[in-house]
Amino acid sequence: MLNRVRSAVAHLVSSGGAPPPRPKSPDLPRANSSPTADPPEAPRSPPAKAGRGKAAPEKTAETRASFSRPTFLQLSPGGLRRADDHAGRAVQSPPDTGRRLPWSTGYAEVINAGKSRHNEDQACCEVVYVEGRKNVSGATREPYGGQGLYFYYWGLFDGHAGGGAAEMASRLLHRHIREQLQGLVEILQDPSPPPLCLPSTPGTPGFSDPTHVVGPHSCSSSQKEVTHESLVVGAIENAFQFMDEQMAQEWHGHQVEGGCCALVVVYLLGKVYVANAGDSRAIIVRNNEIIPMSREFTPETERQRLQLLGFLKPELLGGEFTHLEFPRRVQPKELGQKILYRDQNMTGWAYKKIELEDLRFPLVCGEGKKARVMATIGVTRGLGDHNLKVYSSTLPIKPFLSCFPEVQVYDLTQYEHCPDDVLVLGTDGLWDVTSDDEVAATVDRVLSAYEPNDPSRYTALAQALVLGARGTPRDRGWRLPNNKLGSGDDISVFVIPLGGPGSYS
Amino acid sequence: MLNRVRSAVAHLVSSGGAPPPRPKSPDLPRANSSPTADPPEAPRSPPAKAGRGKAAPEKTAETRASFSRPTFLQLSPGGLRRADDHAGRAVQSPPDTGRRLPWSTGYAEVINAGKSRHNEDQACCEVVYVEGRKNVSGATREPYGGQGLYFYYWGLFDGHAGGGAAEMASRLLHRHIREQLQGLVEILQDPSPPPLCLPSTPGTPGFSDPTHVVGPHSCSSSQKEVTHESLVVGAIENAFQFMDEQMAQEWHGHQVEGGCCALVVVYLLGKVYVANAGDSRAIIVRNNEIIPMSREFTPETERQRLQLLGFLKPELLGGEFTHLEFPRRVQPKELGQKILYRDQNMTGWAYKKIELEDLRFPLVCGEGKKARVMATIGVTRGLGDHNLKVYSSTLPIKPFLSCFPEVQVYDLTQYEHCPDDVLVLGTDGLWDVTSDDEVAATVDRVLSAYEPNDPSRYTALAQALVLGARGTPRDRGWRLPNNKLGSGDDISVFVIPLGGPGSYS
């Protein structure tokens, strides 16, 4: 994530220590397509209070690594060194010889041009089995026949101010999603509407008897209908929050480094859920049409939320910032003049007389990729950043950041997809220099050069997208064919075929 | 506004007194199309602080009337009685014989079927002249040739819990807009970008010298470009706020009754600004295509804003409400069970264990037209309501309501409009029983029955829309041709031709 956090964050309170040793035998979750259940090592602490609970740090064998790449790349030590080489910027993809990713998903990545020591993007692609909750004796409840659920999962994590948060999220976020879905396994497989009320203790006698569930018709007359789909959305939202809370804990004695944007896709029971917190992006290219599947969350797009928070909780501004927006920094010599401003309720601009407190730094400033919250961070949603402070200050920035994703749902059964219909996920390294239309053109160009049933076509497409955004070394920089600068950021791309050779069962 | 505020608001703290006497000679602003300047009686107090200032109550001859209809209807005392007759529900329009509304605008209205004593909708249609600000000596600054600006103005105000707020807004909101635009007259007519900084005292020597304006190039390097359009948007936004603050003042010794939704259109310098605060709606029907020009603000559409406020400022909930949403009211006997909930960050639903404070009434509850904030009010933006309290409580609801409109801009010069292209404004009495598509079909049906240059066609269209939503008295109710109930609410409609016989100069 190029320039998303000023170099000032080197002053992060937490980043004083030497990097911990890399574990000798990495125990990352399996990254192949085998649909077996992960060992039950995901955090299981139920919320003490809905949405606010703290998951206790997990006692697994995992420790923080100083540098790693997704295990599905199957990199040898030499391959890892090449992936870490800023000069060559070799594009990395899973080997042709290995097991393919689920759905014949294509993936490619490249390291940045030197803006950070390692590639701070991370990725994960998994098939996850969700079994129903176990009761206290360890036996699984099986009221509806005991079938668990599989979900397919893709995640892109764009780290900043260190790679720790992105790496942790790539290892654990899907497990938090599994954890949130566990209590819903039977409900999601039951075609009747979700019960509004459930007995509190799973596994207690009577839970398996559907008549004991307080269903829609046993409650008072005025009530809202809740869909199965909205339960999955709620599960993903809460999983992001638990992941973020877990990062706030000490992690095996080490503070989690930095923060990350998270763009996650879950395929479950016929629907694709795209959850985005940050400035990565997902689009569907279907029959040459572009369907946006995410929105970016930046100081510009979230200005009013940020300003409202600063207005309602001025103590969060520490006397250093003003919640008002100005087109530029106000100068002391301008006191008493009038300047354009925007308050939290406004989308337009008006003039106001400059007063002393307007000389404070604006909470939100800058435009485009240079927009910042508290002059520091350029994304407003994501995971981690618990220790991010304003430069040369103890003022925390985290209260202004949201860990909640926006979730968009796409019903895969509503359209007959062809092998050229794809869902493209990319970190901002791709989108900074590539428009949606250019991506759609590359989709068309690359896929038409391969047989529809050639499973390697999606990897080739991901590579073409990464190469197209990186450019080639020329004139002292990485340049695109039009001689403009390519992206010097880490670039990571998933290409998920929606009607290709993948098996969706 | 049918059922938007429960009958409980009869308990409004402020509504104890007898209605004040109706003034003998109503002194409403002129509602014809004469483009002469209004007398300068609009509130002029500049904000003590940007966006927070209090405009002092205006010392005009206007007083609160107990019942009135828009003056452009030119109703005789007998006509006023017919307009006030719930049994006949005669549709009212400006007389054919009188002066037409600007742009040959069509208008029609009908009173409710008995839900309130009078028609609580109000309307205004004006041509307003904005002169530049006068300096202290009364002389107008004329740096750019001294030309003032005209804007065309249409306003629909849907009152609730009394007609006072709607009536006051229909008399004064356009004057607040004029007031906000006064300082911008020269800037809006100057093709160069608006200056970021202005000297504070208008009329001081040098103000008329453009080189004294602190322009974009005399400031620091990083600055945002602000458009003329966004200045007009800001002026409208602040005008709504000043109008709301003026309602908070005592008005000639009387408290302003109730609140109102406000839907306002301003045409200025080639652009149409549609500002909406409430649940009225504006659509453009252009070449049979529907272009939405507003969004409704209700407890459902603003749920997350309301919940966030309750979460950040729990004192506003008075220990009586919870900011969490539940699909229905939680019962004490369910304590310890799990229930579906949504927090302010969630769009999906999840289960939580029921705790004591979940037994409080939800801040937001109900669905569709029955959705309510604090079990009381069904709209979340608008003007007034300063004294609205929760039923049998002193807890104020106003902190959860926003007076700020959302402003959408439509550039009239970007498309060659034909006489059948119209902007339709309606209060919820229209939209509760009429879809956008049905309105578009009526536009097509009615306008095609008239010559394109017949200026009465837009009034005929407004009447057809009102009649179509009201229905006819049958089977103990007002019924539509499909035998469903028509709207029993007040219904008001403006039809503004975008390419018709009106002169836009």
What pLDDT digit, counting tens, does each position of B32-66 carry?
333 333 433 333 333 333 333 333 334 333 334 46
Structure confidence by residue, pLDDT tens digits, B237-285: 999 999 999 999 876 567 788 999 999 999 999 999 999 999 999 999 9
Which residues numbered 291-350 in B keep a CB inside 8 Å of some CB on A? 308-309, 312-313, 324, 326-329, 331, 334, 336-343, 345-350
Structure tokens at B280: 């009225």
Q: Within this chain, do residues B291 and B372 fall inside the same structural domain, yes or no?
A: no
Nearest to A223 among B234, B327, B354 (CB): B327
Examine residue A433 and state whether it is found in any structural domain, yes or no: yes
Gap from A229 CA to chain B (nearest CA, Å)? 8
Across the interface, do B338 and A404 touch by the CB < 8 Å criterion?
Answer: no
Examine residue B200 and state whether it is found in any structural domain, yes or no: no
Structure confidence by residue, pLDDT tens digits, A116-129: 999 999 999 999 99
Gap from A132 CA to chain B (nearest CA, Å)? 15
Kindly tell me the burial class for residue B474, based on how many C-beta atoms sit within 10 Å of its own C-beta (0-12, 13-18, 19 or more): exposed
Nearest to B348 among A237, A313, A337 (CB): A237
Between chain A and chain B, the number of residue pairs with CB atoms below 8 A apart is: 190
The nearest alpha carbon in chain A to B231 belongs to: A349
Q: Within this chain, do residues B427 and B474 fall inside the same structural domain, yes or no?
A: yes
Question: Helices A228-248 & A164-182, crossing angle to 10 degrees?
Answer: 140
Residue with tokens 């002053």: A11
Kindly tell me the burial class for residue B134, based on how many C-beta atoms sit within 10 Å of its own C-beta (0-12, 13-18, 19 or more): middle
User: pTM, whole model, 2 decimals?
Assistant: 0.84
The nearest alpha carbon in chain B to A342 belongs to: B234
3-state secondary structure A159-222: EECCCHHHHHHHHHHHHHHHHHHHCCHHHHHCCCCCCCEECCCCCCCCCCCHHHCECHHHCCCC
Q: What is the pLDDT of residue A146?
A: 64
Contacts of B39 (CB under 8 A, 6+ apart): none
Across the interface, do A234 and B349 touch by the CB < 8 Å criterion?
Answer: yes
**Is A311:A436 a contact under the CB 8 Å cutoff?**
no
* Choice between A63 and A362, residue whose per-residue pLDDT is larger: A362
**Is A203:A135 a contact under the CB 8 Å cutoff?**
yes
Q: Within this chain, do residues A490 and A346 fall inside the same structural domain, yes or no?
A: no
Examine residue A269 and state whether it is found in any structural domain, yes or no: yes
The band of B352, judged by pLDDT with boundaries at 50, 70 and 90, is very high
Residue B486: what residue type? G
Q: Within this chain, do residues B160 and B281 fall inside the same structural domain, yes or no?
A: yes
Kindly tell me the burial class for residue A315, based on how many C-beta atoms sit within 10 Å of its own C-beta (0-12, 13-18, 19 or more): exposed
DSSP symbol at A396: B
**Is B426:B493 a contact under the CB 8 Å cutoff?**
yes
Find, among A377, A363, A120, the residue nearest to A257 by Cα.
A120
Contacts of A309 in chain B (CB under 8 A): 312
Mean pLDDT over A430-435 rounds to: 98
Examine residue B137 and state whether it is found in any structural domain, yes or no: no
Examine residue A128 and state whether it is found in any structural domain, yes or no: yes
Structure confidence by residue, pLDDT tens digits, B157-207: 999 999 999 999 999 999 999 999 999 999 999 999 999 998 765 544 333
Q: What is the pLDDT of residue B9?
A: 40
Q: What is the pLDDT of residue A230?
A: 98
**Is A419:A453 a contact under the CB 8 Å cutoff?**
yes
Q: Within this chain, do residues B282 and B351 fall inside the same structural domain, yes or no?
A: no
Gap between the Cα atoms of B187 and B226, Å rounded: 12
H/E stretch holding A236: helix A228-248
Beta bridge partners of A286: A289
Q: What is the pLDDT of residue A191?
A: 93
CA distance readout (Å), A398 to A296, A379, B311: 18, 11, 17
Sign of the C-alpha dihedral computed for residues A410, A413, A417 and A422 taken in this order? positive
Q: Is the pLDDT of residue A504 over 90?
A: no
Chain B touched by A231 (CB under 8 Å): yes
Q: Within this chain, do residues B319 and B462 fall inside the same structural domain, yes or no?
A: no
3-state secondary structure A357-387: HHHCEECEECCHHHCEECCCECCCECEECCC
Across the interface, do B183 and A351 touch by the CB < 8 Å criterion?
Answer: yes
The nearest alpha carbon in chain B to A357 belongs to: B49
Beta bridge partners of A264: A155, A275
The band of B97, judged by pLDDT with boundaries at 50, 70 and 90, is confident
Across the interface, do B197 and A337 touch by the CB < 8 Å criterion?
Answer: yes
Across the interface, do B224 and A49 touch by the CB < 8 Å criterion?
Answer: no
Chain B touched by A356 (CB under 8 Å): no
Contacts of B234 in chain A (CB under 8 A): 342, 346, 348-350
Which residues numbered 368-407 in B keep a CB inside 8 Å of some CB on A? 370, 402, 404, 406-407
Examine residue B36 and state whether it is found in any structural domain, yes or no: no
Chain A touched by B356 (CB under 8 Å): no
Find, among A446, A329, A422, the residue nearest to A103 by Cα.
A422
Q: What is the pLDDT of residue B448?
A: 97
Nearest to B345 among A326, A367, A402 (CB): A402
Mean model confidence pLDDT for chain B: 83
The nearest alpha carbon in chain A to B367 belongs to: A224
Across the interface, do B349 and A231 touch by the CB < 8 Å criterion?
Answer: yes
Q: What is the pLDDT of residue A100?
A: 87
Examine residue B43 and state whether it is found in any structural domain, yes or no: no
Examine residue B13 and state whether it is found in any structural domain, yes or no: no
Find, among B240, B246, B239, the residue nearest to B58 by Cα.
B246
Structure tokens at A410: 């796409």
Gap between the Cα atoms of B55 and B11, Å rounded: 28
* Cα B38-B39-B41 angle, rounded to 5 deg: 110
Chain B touched by A44 (CB under 8 Å): no
Q: Within this chain, do residues A329 and A281 fall inside the same structural domain, yes or no?
A: no
Q: Within this chain, do residues A330 and A256 fall inside the same structural domain, yes or no?
A: no
The nearest alpha carbon in chain A to B352 belongs to: A50
Output the domain CATH number for residue B78: 3.60.40.10
Q: Is the pLDDT of residue A399 over 60?
A: yes
Contacts of B194 in chain A (CB under 8 A): 340, 349
- Which residue of A207, A214, A221, A223 to mutate against B (max B Cβ within 10 Å)? A223
Q: What is the pLDDT of residue A200?
A: 65
Q: Within this chain, do residues A152 and A278 fall inside the same structural domain, yes or no?
A: yes
Gap between the Cα atoms of B501 and A286, Å rounded: 44
Q: Is the pLDDT of residue A256 over 60?
A: yes
Nearest to B226 among A197, A337, A349 (CB): A349
Q: Within this chain, do residues A186 and A327 fall inside the same structural domain, yes or no?
A: no
Chain A touched by B47 (CB under 8 Å): yes
Chain B touched by A180 (CB under 8 Å): yes
* Choice between B143 and B317, residue whose per-residue pLDDT is larger: B317
The band of B214, judged by pLDDT with boundaries at 50, 70 and 90, is very low
The nearest alpha carbon in chain A to B399 belongs to: A312
The band of A15, judged by pLDDT with boundaries at 50, 70 and 90, is very low
How far is CA A394 from its chain centroid?
Answer: 27
Mean pLDDT over B123-147 rounds to: 69
Residue with tokens 């790449």: A69
Gap between the Cα atoms of B222 and A362, Å rounded: 13
Chain A touched by B213 (CB under 8 Å): no
Q: What is the pLDDT of residue B253?
A: 67
Across the interface, do A234 and B348 touch by the CB < 8 Å criterion?
Answer: yes
Gap from B404 CA to chain A (nearest CA, Å)? 7
Q: Within this chain, do residues A293 and A309 fall inside the same structural domain, yes or no?
A: no
Q: Is the pLDDT of residue B7 over 50?
A: no
Hey, how many other C-beta atoms are within 10 angstroms of the C-beta on B458?
31
Q: How many domains would you assign to chain B?
A: 2
Q: What is the pLDDT of residue A48?
A: 34
Q: In terms of residue numbers, what domain contains A334?
A: 303-378
Q: Is the pLDDT of residue A59 over 60?
A: no
The band of A97, judged by pLDDT with boundaries at 50, 70 and 90, is confident
Gap from B370 CA to chain A (nearest CA, Å)? 10
Q: What is the pLDDT of residue B4?
A: 58
Q: What is the pLDDT of residue A27?
A: 29
Q: What is the pLDDT of residue A51?
A: 34
Q: Is the pLDDT of residue B153 over 80?
A: yes
Nearest to B51 among A50, A312, A343 (CB): A343
Q: Within this chain, do residues B231 and B254 fall inside the same structural domain, yes or no?
A: yes
